[in-house]
Amino acid sequence: MQNKTLITLLALLLLPAGLSAEMSGSSFLKEEPGARVLALGSAATALADDINSLAANPGGLNFFVCPEASAMYTKGILDSYYSYLAYVQPYGKLGTFSASFLLYNGGNIDITGSSGTSTINAETDMALSVGYGINILDSLGCGVSLKFITSTLAQDYHALAAAVDLGLLYKPFDSKYAIGLALQNIGTKLVYISQGDALPFTVRGGASFMVRENNTESWLVAADLVYLDSSLRYDLGVEAVLFKILSLRAGYKFNNNPDVFTFGAGFEIFQARIDYAYCPAGELDYTQRFSIGFKFDAPSPYKAALEYYGKGMKEKALYILKGIPKTSPEYGAAQSFIKMRS
């Protein structure tokens, strides 16, 4: 069954080449939030171990085993800024729920008219999203995210829109790779007075592979194929995690108009993580992004296995339990749990 699922997903990843769509606005929806994602060149469709990657693919929602929260802030060109808040809450067999809020402020501009010069806000965009994810199989998760979007131009022109994101994530419990597929921003237009502005419909296919992993380091490679605004973009990212504390990242966006190189770092201690990313935004500017994340009651391997078992992902749970070493204080409990269910 897993082989058939993998073949199906690989076939679906080829769909973007045959699609077409009109050029879209709402540019604040085109880039995934989170410093880790940006540092990896936005190659996030097959990642399910980071709360901000859910903006790229809600299919990874049910792979989370504890509540998580994240906040992000980005200073843009001139006085514009971009911020993001997200929260994930697992509920066992009921699935996993999420909520997020995105705000883009385009900064102020000076308008000169017959009565003189006045300062107004150029643009303010907001998107509230609620998501839900569940696993179809042990290794296959699916998710949906509903978005409610508002946009205001020059303080006087307002528009509303609604959209949905759909995602699948195939992540075998006994392998080092994952494959993801997502459709983003399927929805209505933002209509200012009588002029409609299409949302940036996006098709994403991606894969990730853990090249090396042991007690002191891990190396991850991720790649995405992104169809957006009638063109294909290729994202590539590499991440090295040292001593489970320090992360070093680099990425590249091919066919991005222009192509851009990204890099960043992360620092994780206890249940908190701080991430940073740097990305050129043209010849005259750049983007620096900071994210802060926190895991509430992050479980040990044994407790994580119990959470997966409660979600119905029994094979994954047993695989984790069998991997607990004899030197661990949880080894005895893990072996007892395995015997009771064998």
Domain check: are 167 and 45 in the same one? yes
Domain check: are 318 and 281 in the same one? no
Domain check: are 316 and 253 in the same one? no
Domain check: are 145 and 262 in the same one? yes
Domain check: are 306 and 202 in the same one? no
Task: Indicate which CATH number applies to the domain containing 157.
Answer: 2.40.160.60
Domain check: are 30 and 14 in the same one? yes
Domain check: are 73 and 181 in the same one? yes
Domain check: are 222 and 339 in the same one? no
> How far apart are the C-alpha atoms of 41 and 279, rounded to whole Å?
9
Domain that holds residue 319: 299-342
Q: What is the predicted pLDDT for the residue at 144? A: 97
Domain check: are 238 and 270 in the same one? yes
Contact predicate 259/244, CB 8 Å: no
- Among 296, 311, 329, residue at a domain's last position: 296
Domain check: are 231 and 264 in the same one? yes
Q: What is the mean pLDDT of each run of 10 residues along the chain (342 residues)?
A: 43 38 61 90 90 92 95 80 93 95 86 75 91 94 96 85 96 92 94 81 96 92 94 96 95 89 94 91 68 92 93 92 93 93 78
Domain check: are 325 and 287 in the same one? no
Domain check: are 322 and 262 in the same one? no
Number of domains forming the structure of the chain: 2
Q: What is the predicted pLDDT for the residue at 282? A: 55
